Structure 1
Amino acid sequence: MFKKILIANRGEIAVRIIRTCKEMGIKTVSVYSDIDEDSIHVHMADESICIGPSKSQKSYLNIDNIISAAIVTGAEAIHPGYGFLSESIKLVEACDKNGIKFIGPKALHMEMMGNKSMARKTMIEAGVPVVPGSKEATNDEKIAYEIALEVGFPLMVKASSGGGGRGLRIVYNKEEFKEKFNMAKSESEIGFNDDSMYIERFVENPRHIEFQILGDSYGNVVHLGERDCSLQRRNQKVLEEAPCSVIDPSLRKKMGDTALKAARSVGYESVGTIEFLLDRENNFYFIEMNTRIQVEHPITEEIVELDLIREQINVAFGEKLKFTQEDIKMNGHAIECRINAEDPSMNFRPSPGTIEGYFAPGGYGVRVDSHIYNDYTIPPTYDSMIGKVITWGKNREEAIDRMKRALDEMVIVGVKTNIEFQKSILNNERFLKNDIDTSFIEKEIFKKED
């Protein structure tokens, strides 16, 4: 097994990876920017090294500095977590060049599946159902408009290299196409240095379902069930559940087999997610693949009783999966609420500052993944997520009740948070009846607040 792993990330995911490495007897190296000197991941790791100033491009996104840190500290492998460089082909190539193992998929898999338009084309060739749309990406407005007329409205303009809702616009008619196409294109070029776009039919009011997959280098691939990630705000996930309560065993097998087919079609290794839209008639369509560990991976861990980070490290080291699809059993129901330092009353404006008081919930079936502590100062530089509360129950109702109790216990003083906003979701009648889709927050929660 690896003797030392460098974690090219920060915050709760860095802490999460360190914990598993400690249990596996693996030494860890934390990297940090100068503004993150007091972050808990810096102190939890066996070693730490500053890789630059607070600006991400000069620290957490600086491949040369990260590789240098790995070489200097003698790290054999790099775990990228999520975000930042987790889907960077250049980092994978830099690792290969310097004899460092990248804990994640190969560059080829990232290229084939990380790029949305290429993934779409690959899935069509593999016979996986996709949302009707363009076969090739384009940055030409006139060509895109012709494709749009063929696809029909409403439709989505999506960045080929996009993610997190950036470079994405819903277009309801041809009159607004030009403006929204160019807005998305510009946003994509700035955010991803890639202005290629693709177009797909907009499936109204679907559920967003993702299947967790895990593959090794020997051709073995399994799925670990699904997560319902429908509750989103501006295409950013807010609350996730596992499993999806409207998917019966027959549909689960059909979608799971399709996810496995998608992964096997490219010989995928490591953890990843195959993402689908599920409409009201139980038709499902592939939309994208995420070639990394996901923020919401803990809810899958809770229902299948596997440490996904451990499995990811094992696969990267070259080990075979120790279980088959038949061995995977789902038990109970899990929910994750993302806790952000933001002010919902001010259009979710980020709320950096010093934590003046902090109490984490606990008790049976409650898990908190976070990196904050009393007197910790949340920097204004990075993502506003400061933790995740995960609850498990025998069924959906028990998991919800436990989450309500956990959020009532949770205390964060000194900064604004979205805890009350999460409670408003948990107490909503439609949510409790499991009558949700990707438009739920916008139409149900914001409507009530208005």
Structure 2
Amino acid sequence: MQLNGNHYIENLDAELVSKINTYLSGISVTDHNPAILFCWDHEALEEFANAANAQTIEHPQWFSQTRGSVTPMTVMNDVICYLAQLSGGRCDHVLLAPNSLIQYGHLQERLQYMQYDDFMQKCMVNVAPGKKTPTLLNITDDGRELLLERHGANEHSIRVADLKELILQHRHQLSSSEIAATSFRLQLADLENSFVLLRGHILADPDIVDLNALLPTDFFVFVADNVQTGNQSISRCEMHKNQADPAIFELQRAQLVEMGFSADLAAQALHECGCNLSDAAALLAEGNLCKGTKDMNSQVTTNLGSQYPFSLRSLVHDGDLMKLRKLAAVDSFRALLFLKETFSSEALDQLNENSMATLQLLLLPVPAPSLRAIHTSSDDASNVDVLKASDSTSNPTTNAIDRLVAMGFARDLVEVMYENCNSDEMLTANALLQTLES
């Protein structure tokens, strides 16, 4: 475990260190549950607040104060509140921890979004050169030594597929149990079900990473596409059920409620995850928690609606979003096409800004069809059979190319990429999306 940054914990005053130690006593920060520590420059904050009060352009939506009433304390509080929607927890204006690796990546993306906002950029012009309002200390596991050990000082690049294999091998070396070894072999056999992110972007397996171009603040996020089962959560809860302090439990439940989940579901998730806050948040976000009653589901919907901006609230009962949820449950690629073709750019921006709430909305159970809908469905059964028959007789290659072209790519480019990707539609889509970033 180490702090990546130019400043260290001893630069904080005693009161903040005491708050951090108190908070850390109730959580577990590991290399796979990293944390973000904020060190604030109060002089820079004062300059930023004065510039914000003088700005004539509209404040960002996450700003709670209007022009003329911005203070250093409100800036700190607004930043942490906005980030807390994606994180595992908060400690006043100091700490967000712990975060799963995927939460950690989302936090970094949101930080970049905030940093390059037009309003923020104009305010930072008035801050003295060389100063930063917050300095971030990322508590992570630095893998640079591992890369140099594997490839040597004269090797300057690595393929993403090799990087994924290297990460899995490193995980295997850290564990000595036979269970972990079996899991390792399964992961190596299924590398395409894992992802590596750098600077907020998913890297494709054929990509080459220039090691010399990595900055001191860069880090890789490795995400395995596997879902934690309910049995694992329950057994974990049994191991840790006697370790939870009631005060910490109530604090963690309150933090989950602040993230938009109902109090009942938050308590249930904490019990199933042994009072591990990041695991409970991930369990709720993935929709793997067993939902007992309709009242619970409606309460989640209500809490989500009241937690986020009006434009996102209105989507809770939107018919197009319900269609999107049905599609996402059976065909993620068609769901992406439907999302692109149906929703306006403004709606997509709102969904992107509130990614955790969007994920929760998409994971809400699809309402049961009414009797009228069932009768309509039976009346149209013959039409559906005709459509299925026509689909089965059509050329699957042509259908795949047509779907990729519908995403906005040139047909000749799609055909070449499709052939190079061995007629794999998903690989072709990933490769085409990579061309947009180059």
TM more than 0.5: no
**Normalising by structure 2, what TM-score?**
0.28
**Normalising by structure 1, what TM-score?**
0.27
Q: Which has the larger radius of gyration?
A: 2
Q: Comparing both structures, which one devotes a greater share of its residues to helix?
A: 2
Q: Comparing both structures, which one devotes a greater share of its residues to strand?
A: 1
